[in-house]
Amino acid sequence: MSTIAHPSPSNNPQSSLSFPRETFAKLSPHPYLLAHLTPSPSKRANSRSTAQFRTPHINNGSLTHAEGSAVVRVGDTTVVCGIRGEILLASDVPNYRVTTGAVGSGLEEQGAEEEAKDLDLLVPNIELSTGCSPQFLPGQAPGTLAQSLSTRVYSLLHSSRIIDNEELRIWYEPPDLSALGSNREDESMEDSEDSEEEDKPKREIKAFWTLYIDILFISLDGNPFDAAWASVLSALRDVRLPHAYWDPDREMVLCSDSISKSKKLTLRGCPVASSAVVFRAKEKRVSKGEEKYWVLVDPDTFEEGLCDECVTVVVDCTGGVVKVLGIEKVGGTVVGREEIRRIVRIAEERWKEVSSLIEA
Amino acid sequence: MTDRRRINGPSGGTSAPIYSSYLTKDSRDIPERPTRTRPPNVLRKMFLKTGVTPSASGSAYLELEASKNPNSTAPGLASLSTSGLKLTCTVHGPRPLPKSAPFSPHVILTTHVKYAPFATRKRRGYLRDNSERDLGVHLETALRGVIIGDRWPKSGVEVIITILEGEEDQWWGDDIGRGSVGAAEWGMMSVLSGCITVASAAIADAGIDCVDVVAGGVAAVVRSRNEGKAHMPTLVLDPVPSEHKEIVAACIVGYLPGRDEITDLWVKGEIGHENNTSSGNTSYDELADNAVQAALGSHRVLVAALKETANAKLRRLR
């Protein structure tokens, strides 16, 4: 069972003292990786360069029962994301004040900034206990890694505001019955124009779409956050919500199953996440003196196990303007401002590659 | 019920979308049920691939194509499509048991079957429910007889199956509140047959010694009803529950072709004994024999996939 998946023809004759590469990697992983990185140009144990990502492959629409779905493969990490839409009635929301507004009146935006977050309309969940890796066996409740990944996806979804609140609302416009009354009174035609605005029934929000975003890891080989976020983005782009309307006779929300009336979600922007870990030459911390370090982009399980410090950068370059949506850095003090600048530039390159795949 | 370790949905509770065509009684609006286009003794095309999870000891992925409505060519909304079957299986082991476990002279097999939340028409939660435990027990029965357990004392093997897309129990059109005849869980039978096949591929990929390669097969006795007049029941292999108006009985077996042995057998429904049935009605023995034929069909696909895996592994070792 080898941790590194590439064949390596050895030029040296097999003497009794030398091991095959896989055994060496298992017995002393830190010197193994250090031996790869020390000569310049540095190559990693998986024969990528330090700033090279794995090629992603994205597949959409493979799940029948999900409104949107995506399967993302980045190297050996495979993620399946399925999005299902369910209906939340406005009457079921505690403390909800009915929002009304005529079309185009801007009243809709008032107080609606945090609507998706307050009402919990986007529900992402990451499931790692699927046997994707020997340390994630099923039957266990979500551990630290799964919970923190779910929370990071949740906060990125809301802070990036890629889904407009309007997309998730189901409006109801009561039919205008005032026309029936005014036919009998012809002399009040002048008055009726003024009072038409007040008598005309306002449309109101009757229900909301709730999107359950379920992310399952089929296989994990390092860097779960990037793959999970890419799958969420790609699945959101694939979502097709049926046309929903309030039926006043039955007093329930019904959906129409014709494809021509269904609509795809319009997303604002396309943020892409890139992660990197920092590998230090000395395992023990040295308090003074320069020590050598390498920033390894898109780590796999082997490299993640040897590094403490981790940086994640989320950028969005739609429209040619680079926007940094988030920088997370934990675990050490090696990476400073210059290094972060370099990582952001690498993340911009990655954005071009991933966004062209997602938008295709 | 809030799960503190997961992100929960709205506290008010949400409901699945109800489509207007579910409620209409006008038969013109309802699309036709998909019909079975293949002959009764032909199985669906199966796609089987091993090695999808390199970090596990062994893994496999199985896919059975969905039945299509022969009249419609446009891609449908989720409400109108019937699903196929998509399973992944990972095998971890043989691993040493924890020190606290009592000594066991043979390997301890643990199976775990889980539906993904988006696998079925009705969204499933993250906690295991009874049908999943049931599937796990049947799977363990099917695999237990095949693994040569004595070679690994004090060890455990975990077989984990995730169902990405599951068979439905009945066509959604029958669910319209006209009083559906209590649908027993027919979809679970094809799912179990797929689980046995994919688990067997993953175990072979993991290199665990077995006496033979077990394959799963399912057969059913179906009856079509036209204008209230019941037809004679017919026997079909690899049934898709949504293609048939009424399923009388179904049987699933885990079969070892090399030794002509059955490791697991499960029959559901009404079926009679050979001596008691009138001419034309299927008996229990015939149903079981046909399920064995179906298992032979999936065995062929299984062996072809395993040959490819073995060749790939030999090439890597060279």
Surface of A (8-67) touching B: CB under 8 A: 62-67
ipTM of the complex: 0.87
Chain B residue with CA closest to A242: the answer is B77
Tokens at A340, concatenated: 């972060």
Q: Which residues pair with B70 in a beta bridge?
A: none
Count residue pairs from A and B with Cβ separation < 8 A.
Answer: 182
Say if residue A193's pLDDT is above 50. Answer: no
Share of chain A above pLDDT 70, in %: 82
Angle at CA A78, nearest 5°, toward A330 and A127? 65
Chain B positions touching A63 (Cβ under 8 A) are: 86, 118, 164-165
Chain B positions touching A247 (Cβ under 8 A) are: 20
Most confident of A273-287, A320-334, B117-131: A320-334
CB A83 within 8 A of CB A213: yes
Q: Is B303 on the interface with A (CB under 8 A)?
A: no
Angle at CA A236, nearest 5°, toward A232 and A239? 140
CB A217 within 8 A of CB B39: no
Task: Select from B259, B140, B145, B147 the least CA-distant residue to B204.
Answer: B147
What's the average model confidence in pLDDT over A274-300?
82
Q: Is B20 on the interface with A (CB under 8 A)?
A: yes
> pLDDT by residue (tens digit) across A154-175?
999 999 989 988 888 888 888 8
- Cβ–Cβ contacts within 10 Å for residue A257, how many? 20
pLDDT score of A74: 94
Q: Is B118 on the interface with A (CB under 8 A)?
A: yes
pLDDT score of B20: 79
Q: Is B127 on the interface with A (CB under 8 A)?
A: no
pLDDT score of B258: 93
Chain A residue with CA closest to B58: the answer is A1
Per DSSP, the residues of A207-220 read EEEEEEEEEEEEE-
Q: Is A303 on the interface with B (CB under 8 A)?
A: no
Residue A103 pLDDT class (50, 70, 90 cuts): very low
Chain-centre distance of CA A95, in angstroms? Answer: 30
Three-state DSSP class for A58?
A: strand
Chain A positions touching B79 (Cβ under 8 A) are: 242, 255, 257
Q: Is B83 on the interface with A (CB under 8 A)?
A: yes
pTM of the model: 0.87
> pLDDT by residue (tens digit) across B238-269?
888 878 878 888 999 999 999 999 999 999 88
